[in-house]
Structure 1
Amino acid sequence: MKKLLLLFIIFLIISCEGIQYDGEKRLVFQTVVLDSNGQPLPHSNVEINVSDDYSSGLISKGKTDQDGRITLVFPAPKYDLGINLRIYSDDMSYLEKGVFNIHKADFENYKFIYQNSYLLKFEETAALELTYNQTTSNTVLKNVGITGIYTMPHEYYNFNPDNYYYPAEILIKKNQSFQLKYTILNTQTDIETEYIVDLTIGDNPLSYTINY
């Protein structure tokens, strides 16, 4: 047991060189990995890494249990760095899911429960194709996302102003009603307004333009 602990510590030092951690505080991540029908996916892989502008490293990983559940405990970064998730199955027919830029502030009492860990197969999905139309220079688009059963390989949990990443395509379970949510920031007044649009997708791609 002591040898395993020592190897794990050495692994963390090597993989996360340059990132500083609080040796006294631990963060807890929990989720349930499900398929498109809401059934648990046992033995799915969940990885957590931490990144800053200069380096990144794997800090915790594991596999879900028979009920698709997983709990990972890892040391808290000293600073508010990006905490990122990678969720995937050894069965390559399932699409990988990536969630980026989770903050320490998103951990309530040091615990973060992620509710949208769906792994879908490509043939189960139809694409929501998004285009963006900026109508004034005084607005910024923030936090584009949806509610429903979907998957994205590169999803931002919190808006990252350094890269202005807006998804061009979101793969959604076919024949589903869902909500598209986005926030517009007025840079003159510093007021944020959230918009919620009810949509339905069938077997074919659906296009939508966000005007901001």
Structure 2
Amino acid sequence: MKKYFLLIIFISCVSCTIPYDAETRLVFETKLVDSNDNSLEGIDVEITVSNGSGFGSSSELLSFGKTNSNGELRLIFPSPEFDRGYDLSVNSPYSDNENYVPLEINNIGIENFNDYKLTIPKIYRLTYDESVQVYLEFNSINNSNKITNVFIDGINSPYSSSFLDEEETFYTYNFFAKKNQTIQINYTVKNISGQLQNVSQELVINEENISQIINY
């Protein structure tokens, strides 16, 4: 009987709801456009909160909404307790992705909010026919160097793309890019002395998927 009682307690703890800061509200703002910068109306966007995907992890739908006639979206939601290992994800439900590539931005923490607001000025939604998948692997050839920021300049749609919440020696960035363009890959490297070096390099996008290692 004691074993069953302990098992019930354990299962209950695993299924506990995610803890929130009742005093704090966060704001997420963005605008969704197509590859020609036309506003996209009525696109569903969700924000979820989780603490991983393994056994005993928790995940909940935190907020959702549709873009307005200008393609704009504003969501207000309670702040999870980030210091317990939780982070946020922004995505567009797969049922809404019949014509577009999936949209997913992960690993969003409280440090990505400025005065409790996270604004991504513009997010492209691309179709499969007009885009290719790009996988970038940032690999430090000197363990004292760390990557601190990555920004892609060009027509691209984030997919399994993660915010950098801390300095990393290894980092991957996955997205879809419009075919037949040249994009700019911008990133910042921090050395052991704390000095920052901004690096920029071009990547030509043709008709095929791309997987590229960037050593720094």
What's the TM-score, normalizing by structure 2? 0.75
Compute the RMSD of aligned alpha carbons.
2.8
Partner of 1:197: 201
Partner of 1:176: 181
AA of the residue aligned to 1:184: V
1:166 paired with 2:172, answer yes
What CA distance in whole angstroms lies between the structure 2 residues aligned with 1:97 and 1:34? Answer: 12
Query: Please, which moves more after superposition, 128-137 or 148-157?
Result: 128-137
CA drift at 1:74: 0.4
Partner of 2:49: 50
Partner of 1:69: 72
What CA distance in whole angstroms lies between the structure 1 residues aligned with 2:137 and 2:110? Answer: 31
Question: CA 1:194–1:56 in 2, change beyond 3 Å: closer, same or farther?
Answer: farther
The secondary structure found in structure 1 opposite 2:189 is strand
Unaligned segments of structure 1, at least 5 residues: 1-15
Partner of 1:153: 159
CA drift at 1:170: 3.4
In the comparison of the two structures, how many residue pairs are matched?
A: 195
Which of residues 110, 115, 118 is equivalent to 2:121? 115
Superposition pairs of residues 123-134 of structure 1, within 5 angstroms: 123-130=129-136, 132=138, 134=140
CA drift at 1:76: 1.4
AA of the residue aligned to 2:59: S
The secondary structure found in structure 1 opposite 2:23 is strand
Question: CA 1:99–1:120 in 2, change beyond 3 Å: closer, same or farther?
Answer: same
Question: CA 1:67–1:135 in 2, change beyond 3 Å: closer, same or farther?
Answer: same
AA of the residue aligned to 1:175: N
What's the TM-score, normalizing by structure 1? 0.76
What CA distance in whole angstroms lies between the structure 2 residues aligned with 1:104 and 1:132? Answer: 24
AA of the residue aligned to 1:44: I
Q: State the identity as a percent.
A: 33
What CA distance in whole angstroms lies between the structure 2 residues aligned with 1:199 and 1:174? Answer: 12
What CA distance in whole angstroms lies between the structure 2 residues aligned with 1:113 and 1:100? Answer: 15
